[in-house]
Structure 1
Amino acid sequence: MFGLLKYFLYLLLVLLACLAIFIYLNQAPDKSVAELSKRWAQPPSQFVNIAGMNIHLRDEGPKSDQEPIVLIHGTSASLHTWDGWADALKEQRRVIRFDLPGFGLTGPDPDNNYTIEHYADVVAAVLDELKIQNCVLAGNSLGGYVSWATAVRYPNRVSKLVLVDSSGYPFEPESIPLAFKLSQNPLTSVLLKNVLPKSLVARSVKNVYGNPDLVSDELIDRYYDLSLRRGNRDALKARFKQTLPGLLVNKINTIDVPTLILWGAKDRLIPPKYAIQFNRDIADSTLVVFDELGHVPHEEDPQSTVLAVKKFLATHPPSIKS
């Protein structure tokens, strides 16, 4: 009996030693906006005081465009996810993108409010600050949810929608990025507050790509660095608790603006059957599926996906709402 107890104590010490080594090797303290901005807020980035936050924003293209394109990123992403689209569109169109509250360099909401209604209100506040009456609103994943929720809550501000692997319906994922799972677990989320293996971030990003080989070291660096922005890890936990499918889902069928639905056939987080549901519920909508792409098709293959956007915009010229 004494020998067995001694064995278990030895095993416990070994496990504690391994845990201590793991924590030491993967320490990831918060980083300041000033530190992160050196790499991730180069021109044309700017910080604009909106809704009580210094929102990290990029505003490119001709300011004379009366129907700007506003791009909204998804969970744990940032405005950089739209680099390819912005480069392809900004010669002819005004393109605006910003880091949502709780993500990127914008950081936490001052009231810890991550409801979908509040996110829509922030979009409206950005439009107000930039003196934009209405826009083409495009979003991926959570950003898609924010986009169509804004169209529901502020119908006169949105003239067209582009939904890219959008959330909003209650959905059953086939696979969830490991970082998302751990951030929702009360025990592991405490650990991740000060410890974050870069390999965990890499695995999670590769999980949402149709072709994981396309995930570059620079891309992993970006997701990793911006997750360390002071307050973002706590905000992520709050976002998962607060931004859930709610009553607004019953109003999707009231959306009456031209809508383009883009989806990756290899999306295992929000499978393509939900694209069909959006297409069915939004009367004036067009669905385009990309066979080889995953949950972030605009980032994985910006050239192919933005061509669909350009075609959509060409067949639906600007219509300014009053």
Structure 2
Amino acid sequence: MMQAIDEDDFEPAPPRRPLFRRKRVLIPLALLLAIVAAFLALRTPDTDRDAMIAKYGGANATFAAGPAGQHVHYRDQGRRDAPAIVLLHGANSSLQTWEPLVKRLGTSYRIVTLDLPGHGLTGGTPDKEYDADGMIAAVDVVAARLDLDHFILGGNSMGGWVAWRYALAEPGRVDALLLLDAAGMPLRKGEKAPPSNIGFRILQYPLGRWLATQITPRSLIEESLRGSVAKQGIVDDAMIDRYWELLRFPGNREATVLRARMDREPAMASRVGEIKAPTLILFGKQDRLINPTAAETFHERIAGSEVVLLDGIGHLPMEEAPDATAAAITDFLKRRLAAPPARPETR
């Protein structure tokens, strides 16, 4: 027998909690918090300006003030009464890279090295001019400070690019040109771009460029250095620390990102044949950042130039093979910049 059921005997069931909605909110929030925590844990701040000047410049660190507010760090070493050689370092490097050559050439030449804008102890500059014109201006600032109206000019990688651009802009001031694994030549027909190192590959992407201003792990610097040289034995703790700490000098990481987006004016390579100064082109045969065949391109375009290729050497010949590099430079300069014979009445 069925019993009548009064609808009032039932209580409505409590509403089911929308768990799936809470998960849709909590999971992304947790992920976001994890990303923020990881970013804060990995973030590497700038180094302290004064501490870096004391460590890498010493008590006698010298700076030349420029009209655009630059304070260009430089060193003036070697024989003051000898011909001057001005040397320009590569991207994300510093004047420290030339110290092995200073020791070997300083007894015969006056050696001037400088930290280009956005590098080393020069750091970021107020005008943020990190293109060829900005780099050339820094060379002029130091040359004016030292009263150098002409000099031998050399550069490695990006510094080599600045050097040959300077020779085009100021031909009367460059007595000779030294291009060490210099940048700026186009790929040859059928040639592929070199693999480069991880640091430069990261800068190819917008996110990578932003992260490069915030996160700079020491391990990344070590990997980039090892990808740049063939002689791995030169990459020691002191070298890694130097590149890592100076890259984080105030303004340098921002400059690195701005340079990555800069127009390198590749069409200028077609003008390199205008250079008349005696030119030495020295490359490491195992360079993995710039194809060593670029040496041949430079040689074909610069009349009277000479080429030296070093076996077993990568992108930094002045640090990987300072003896061979110094010997090649000395031989070239002695032959190509020989003093004219004395006039009869003064012999």
Q: TM-score, normalised by structure 2?
A: 0.84
Alignment of 1:168-187 (within 5 A): 168-171=184-187, 173-187=193-207
How many residue pairs get matched?
318
Alpha carbons of 1:35 and 1:10: their partners in 2 closer, same or farther (altered >3 Å)? same
- The answer to whether 1:64 aligns with 2:81 is yes
Q: Secondary structure at the match of 1:164?
A: strand
What residue in structure 1 maps to residue 9 of structure 2? Answer: none
Shift of 1:307: 1.2
Alignment of 1:76-91 (within 5 A): 76-91=92-107
What residue in structure 1 maps to residue 162 of structure 2? Answer: 146
Shift of 1:4: 10
Shift of 1:126: 2.1
Alpha carbons of 1:24 and 1:285: their partners in 2 closer, same or farther (altered >3 Å)? same
Alpha carbons of 1:21 and 1:203: their partners in 2 closer, same or farther (altered >3 Å)? farther
- The answer to whether 1:260 aligns with 2:284 is no
Shift of 1:284: 1.5
Paired with 1:15 and 1:318, the residues of 2 have a C-alpha distance of 69
Shift of 1:22: 4.0
CA contact (8 A) 1:159 1:319 kept: no
Alpha carbons of 1:92 and 1:23: their partners in 2 closer, same or farther (altered >3 Å)? same
Shift of 1:122: 2.6
Alignment of 1:100-179 (within 5 A): 100-171=116-187, 173-179=193-199
Deviation per CA, 1:35-58: give whole Å up to 9, x if none. Answer: 211211126531121242111100
Q: Secondary structure at the match of 1:242?
A: coil
- Residue type of the alignment partner of 2:304: D
Shift of 1:176: 2.0
Paired with 1:252 and 1:93, the residues of 2 have a C-alpha distance of 27
- Aligned partner of 1:206 among 197, 220, 226: 226
Shift of 1:6: 9.7
Q: Secondary structure at the match of 2:195?
A: coil
Q: Secondary structure at the match of 2:177?
A: strand
Q: Calculate the aligned-residue CA RMSD, in Å.
A: 2.5
CA contact (8 A) 2:234 2:319 kept: no
What residue in structure 1 maps to residue 344 of structure 2? Answer: none
What residue in structure 1 maps to residue 109 of structure 2? Answer: 93
- Residue type of the alignment partner of 1:98: L
Shift of 1:185: 2.1
Q: Secondary structure at the match of 2:98?
A: helix
What residue in structure 2 maps to residue 217 of structure 1? Answer: 237
Shift of 1:17: 6.4
Radius of gyration: which is bigger? Answer: 2
Shift of 1:110: 1.8
- Unaligned residue ranges in structure 1 (runs of 5+): none
CA contact (8 A) 1:124 1:150 kept: no
Q: Secondary structure at the match of 1:106?
A: coil
Paired with 2:323 and 2:240, the residues of 1 have a C-alpha distance of 20
- Unaligned residue ranges in structure 2 (runs of 5+): 1-17, 341-347
Paired with 2:20 and 2:199, the residues of 1 have a C-alpha distance of 37
Q: Secondary structure at the match of 2:184?
A: coil
Alpha carbons of 1:201 and 1:10: their partners in 2 closer, same or farther (altered >3 Å)? farther
CA contact (8 A) 2:120 2:247 kept: yes
Shift of 1:192: 2.7
Alpha carbons of 1:14 and 1:175: their partners in 2 closer, same or farther (altered >3 Å)? farther
CA contact (8 A) 1:210 1:267 kept: yes
Paired with 1:118 and 1:254, the residues of 2 have a C-alpha distance of 22
Alpha carbons of 1:253 and 1:3: their partners in 2 closer, same or farther (altered >3 Å)? farther
Paired with 1:17 and 1:302, the residues of 2 have a C-alpha distance of 50
Alpha carbons of 1:7 and 1:274: their partners in 2 closer, same or farther (altered >3 Å)? farther
Alignment of 1:13-32 (within 5 A): 19-20=35-36, 22-32=38-48
Q: Secondary structure at the match of 2:87?
A: strand
What residue in structure 1 maps to residue 314 of structure 2? Answer: 294
Question: Relative contact order (C-alpha < 8 Å, sep 6+): which is higher?
Answer: 1
Paired with 1:257 and 1:180, the residues of 2 have a C-alpha distance of 31
Paired with 1:288 and 1:6, the residues of 2 have a C-alpha distance of 68
Q: Secondary structure at the match of 1:122?
A: helix
Paired with 1:99 and 1:8, the residues of 2 have a C-alpha distance of 52
